[in-house]
Structure 1
Amino acid sequence: MTSVDDALSLTREESAVISAFVPRVRVEMIAASTPRVSATLEHRLHWERAHRVRLGATDATVIAIATGIAAAFQLHQGEPPTNVATRSVLLAGVWFATLLAMRTSVTALFGSSTAEYRGIAHASGLAIGMMAFAAVLLDWDSMRITVLITLPMGLLGLLMSRWSWRRWLSNQRRHGRFTSRTLVVGNRDEVEYVARTLHPSAAGGYQVVGATLLDGNARELKVDHTTVPVLGNLNSVAQVAIELRADTIIVAGRPERDPDFVKRLGWELEGTAAELVLSNRLADVAGPRISFVPIDGLPLIKVQIPTYEGAKHLLKRALDIVVSAIALIPIIVMTPLLALLIKLDSPGPVFFFQERVGRDGKPFQIVKFRSMRADAEQRLAALKADHDGAGLLFKLKDDPRITRIGKVLRKLSFDELPQFWNVLLGDMSVVGPRPPLPSEVSDYDGTVSRRLYIKPGITGLWQVSGRSDLSWDESIRLDLRYVENWSMITDLQIMWRTARVMVAPSGAY
């Protein structure tokens, strides 16, 4: 999995960064009272500033192009050049200032992609809204046209540029550049959890370089085939951080009966570290469900209880109808050719119908292009002893029932295209948990059955995270995480990642 891509966090200005795997409260360390600034901290601040400048320059360019196109349209309509120039410069200035004020470049460094894109959308909407309000008050008729032209173009350009920079930064971090050298402090199981979560390619920006255990004296920890050195004790965390040149310290647990441990550690780290992060193990709880509420010195983390009805789900259904209706147009065009290939390859029907279980346990008939021989169901019992072990889910990498054209269809996920008809009918959603068989559901326990709280999907986190290469437990964990934390932005991101997976398929068999 990407981290991500799949990290879910709050913005820095809220003084809380809470991710999907390592929710954490971020406390800025400002060394105003001391001249000490380590070389490590200075290096980090330097590359952070440089990247913010790159983002700012790109944002300014995109905004200038969008407003420039709108200005050209106004000039073509005969508007006075002076008025057009004044309003365009004002719009561009307000837009850029709003992006800076909402600190979207800060989120781009260590926040999740969802938080960054949401911040860009909010800032753009606020800027355009202010200008539209000014246009009404000042009776700038032409400004309304400018807003209608500039907002979609500029917002799309900003999102694409930020996506490109995020890919570039992730690639740099895979090579060990532009990462935060991180020391993790806590009990052994807490440290291992944090290190395992942050480890994959340091894509989130945190590279674990060491650990300090509060409940043991191990020399090192093994985390996903990576060795993390264990150094020091609770009284030498600051010194260990200096020795390791760590600019971030994650406190995954604190000593018992020592409520002032974090405060004292913060004082010791002044001028030597960029941030102190408190880890709170709210596993599989997404950022939008979490808010940080400080009350009289008591930091409270509020977790919203998930709901499965309401306006948000109506909006999801509207998106399903639009996407499925559009998708079915090219699918109808492709169907005669695919039907001919399926028929020529093996005898049997073009479409394969199978009973699956939908929302709230309601059965429905799923439809696919046939990728197996006509007697596949009858041969299933003889193959079950050889399947590749996936809990309740039958998987066989070299399934002899799959036809030659079926292998191609499955590799490209073309066999699932007719399911957009199920989406249009309302039995499925474009994005959701994998649609289970009745035999699987009959063996569900109380936890796994929660994946039936929403409609199954053509694609989902399981689709973009390994598909058939995932274990049963991993598949269920991804489905349950989606069920409780989904959002419209998450759905759009999964759709985009699915398109990429179809171009470069992995784990499809």
Structure 2
Amino acid sequence: MRQGGLVDPFPSARGRLTDGAMGQPASDWEQRYRRNVIISDTLATFVVVASIGQFFGARDAANWHEKWGILAFGTELLVLGALTLSRSWAPAVLGQGAEEFRRLGRSLFTVVVVLALGGIALTSRNIKLWIFVAIPMIGIVTMTERYLLRLWLHRQRKVGQCLRPVLAAGSPDTVRDLINRTRKFPHLGWRVEAVCTVDGRGLDGDQLDGVPVVGQLADAAGHVRRDGYRVVAVTPDPYWSPDRLQKLAWNLEGSDAEMVVAPVLMEVAGPRLHVDAVLGIPLLRVSMPAFTGARRVIKGVMDRVGAAILLVMLMPLLVLVGLLVVVDSRGGMVYRQRRVGKNGREFIILKFRTMSAGAHAARAQLADRDEGAGLLFKVRGDPRVTRVGAVLRRYSIDEVPQLFNVLTGSMSLVGPRPPLPEESAAYGPDIRRRLLVKPGLTGLWQISGRSDLPWDEAVRLDLRYVEDWSLALDAVILWKTFRAVIHGQGAY
């Protein structure tokens, strides 16, 4: 089936998504999507290794281990084997989150190690090209094709297709929160189709935010087996004792349902969560946030190197924009403003000037038009913004000079939004945790709506970054920032 000139990889994903009976294989669209990923990875690897063998091959090599055909075939097998062993094709990680790309990167790193050891053992002179050219090229191509497949999948989910049917079991308030989140973020692939509560009733009688309440919590496993839900989402409720959770897990055995339990914790996720067995008791261990150490050193080096590279690449744009700012209105090219950074230290942030002279003094006159959330001051259609400034703000070009702040170490490429001194002075103890790390040129707030976000949501995203920071999360945020800037959502 073709849509818009492209081949639809999910032609059977229209209509009801469940399989009708538990114990059956995953939905057709899940199998088809996984098959597309496997085929794409295999073809991408084959094309890369075949191209290198064709253009750089040593056809007259004297020894068998120098022959490029054998090296190409061996590299192909190593890559596919590593992807299989690392479960990079597991349906649970395909199509969402950073774990899919993390497993892909781990697999390719394993191949590099094996090739390097093999090259040493066989004293191969040609192994370097495979390690430093072939594997990086395979990584670039496979990550690109997986990202394109993911974009297609997310587009399907936005129109209500390729979603996993979910039975939510918990208190009405926590289930309602889950329903709202799944509707707000359909790309995650969940759709709550039924609810179980302790008394079999919802906040709206036999419904909860338009989702039918099908029974009590004790009946959850029976409904899953009968109606074919793919996910059982257990949300907090006093009913869920350890014995009852274990019994629910036993009753779901042999079915195709995935049981997901929401722990009663602060928003901690990613690499800080570990499940350990201590004295036969399963414990969820939460490690401390990483504010120092080797990973922070790596982040600092990457910040400065990345900022330097971007400044060199964008220098012509910086010069052009600076001239347009000066020509468009009276005033300087760069606007300097005092902000609060890591551990409460103040620094001067650099931005292209986007407002007319005397804009700060005129702020009081616009107090009744303030649309900013919480402590932020924002006015849609602000009359102080110049013509050039409106364009710069829409596409966040006014923030490019902050790369100099990153280069000098007062900011990071990714981090919480840098607050004004008067904002930070009004912070409570919880919100002040934003100041435990360097502020960022971009962050979770940047890719989630920017000025359109409610204050509580903006704070939650910043705190989530502080708690769950990782190099992989930084990479995902930087990747998504480009799309957010192009769309200009929440920028004014």
TM-score normalised by L of structure 1: 0.86
Q: Which residue of 2 aligns with 1:315?
A: 298
| Alignment partner of 1:327 out of 301, 304, 310 | 310
Select between 341-350 and 264-273 the one with higher mean Cα deviation.
Answer: 264-273
Select between 295-304 and 365-374 the one with higher mean Cα deviation.
Answer: 295-304
Give the deviation of 1:383 after TM superposition: 1.6
The 5 A counterparts of 1:379-390 are 379-390=362-373
Looking at structure 1, the residues matched to 71 and 434 of structure 2 have their Cα atoms a distance apart, in angstroms, of: 51
Select between 315-324 and 255-264 the one with higher mean Cα deviation.
Answer: 255-264
The 5 A counterparts of 1:169-208 are 169-208=153-192
Q: Which residue of 1 aligns with 2:221?
A: 238
SS of aligned partner of 2:335: strand
Select between 257-266 and 132-141 the one with higher mean Cα deviation.
Answer: 257-266
Q: Which residue of 2 aligns with 1:492?
A: 475
Give the deviation of 1:125 after TM superposition: 0.8
Does the C-alpha gap of structure 1 residues 322 and 299 become closer, same or farther in structure 2, counting only changes over 3 Å? same
The 5 A counterparts of 1:96-107 are 96-106=80-90
Contact 2:200 2:213 in 1 (8 A): no
Does the C-alpha gap of structure 1 residues 77 and 310 become closer, same or farther in structure 2, counting only changes over 3 Å? farther
The 5 A counterparts of 1:125-136 are 125-136=109-120
Deviations 1:76-97 (A, max 9, x none): 5853596221222112112101
| Alignment partner of 2:152 out of 151, 158, 168 | 168
Looking at structure 2, the residues matched to 316 and 256 of structure 1 have their Cα atoms a distance apart, in angstroms, of: 44
Q: Which residue of 2 aligns with 1:450?
A: 433
Looking at structure 2, the residues matched to 244 and 195 of structure 1 have their Cα atoms a distance apart, in angstroms, of: 19
Q: Which residue of 2 aligns with 1:12?
A: none
The 5 A counterparts of 1:51-200 are 51-76=33-58, 78-79=60-61, 83-106=67-90, 109=93, 112-200=96-184
Matched residue type, 2:165: R
Deviations 1:139-166 (A, max 9, x none): 2221233222211101111111111122
Deviations 1:344-376 (A, max 9, x none): 321111111111111111111111111001110
Deviations 1:416-442 (A, max 9, x none): 111111111111111111111111111
Deviations 1:379-426 (A, max 9, x none): 112222321142111111121111111101111111111111111111
Looking at structure 1, the residues matched to 133 and 319 of structure 2 have their Cα atoms a distance apart, in angstroms, of: 40
Does the C-alpha gap of structure 1 residues 107 and 362 become closer, same or farther in structure 2, counting only changes over 3 Å? farther
Deviations 1:192-220 (A, max 9, x none): 23333333353222221011001562234
Deviations 1:298-344 (A, max 9, x none): 22111111131121111111111111111222443223332332223
Does the C-alpha gap of structure 1 residues 335 and 184 become closer, same or farther in structure 2, counting only changes over 3 Å? closer
Contact 1:391 1:472 in 2 (8 A): yes
Q: Which residue of 2 aligns with 1:4?
A: none
Looking at structure 2, the residues matched to 360 and 163 of structure 1 have their Cα atoms a distance apart, in angstroms, of: 37
Give the deviation of 1:109 after TM superposition: 4.7
Matched residue type, 1:364: F
Looking at structure 2, the residues matched to 258 and 448 of structure 1 have their Cα atoms a distance apart, in angstroms, of: 33
Matched residue type, 2:26: R
Does the C-alpha gap of structure 1 residues 317 and 266 become closer, same or farther in structure 2, counting only changes over 3 Å? closer
SS of aligned partner of 1:352: strand
Q: Which residue of 2 aligns with 1:213?
A: 197
Q: Which runs of 5+ in 1 are unaligned?
A: 1-36
Does the C-alpha gap of structure 1 residues 228 and 491 become closer, same or farther in structure 2, counting only changes over 3 Å? same
Select between 245-254 and 474-483 the one with higher mean Cα deviation.
Answer: 245-254
Looking at structure 1, the residues matched to 180 and 282 of structure 2 have their Cα atoms a distance apart, in angstroms, of: 26
Looking at structure 2, the residues matched to 286 and 267 of structure 1 have their Cα atoms a distance apart, in angstroms, of: 26
Q: Which residue of 1 aligns with 2:243?
A: 260
Matched residue type, 2:182: L
Contact 1:192 1:221 in 2 (8 A): no
SS of aligned partner of 1:193: helix
Q: How many residues align?
A: 470
Does the C-alpha gap of structure 1 residues 253 and 348 become closer, same or farther in structure 2, counting only changes over 3 Å? closer
Give the deviation of 1:39 after TM superposition: 3.6
Looking at structure 1, the residues matched to 253 and 471 of structure 2 have their Cα atoms a distance apart, in angstroms, of: 41
What's the RMSD between the two structures over aligned residues?
2.3
Does the C-alpha gap of structure 1 residues 272 and 62 become closer, same or farther in structure 2, counting only changes over 3 Å? same
Contact 1:108 1:166 in 2 (8 A): no
SS of aligned partner of 2:216: coil
Q: Which runs of 5+ in 2 are unaligned?
A: 1-18
Give the deviation of 1:186 after TM superposition: 1.6
| Alignment partner of 1:279 out of 244, 259, 262 | 262
Looking at structure 1, the residues matched to 186 and 384 of structure 2 have their Cα atoms a distance apart, in angstroms, of: 41
TM-score normalised by L of structure 2: 0.89
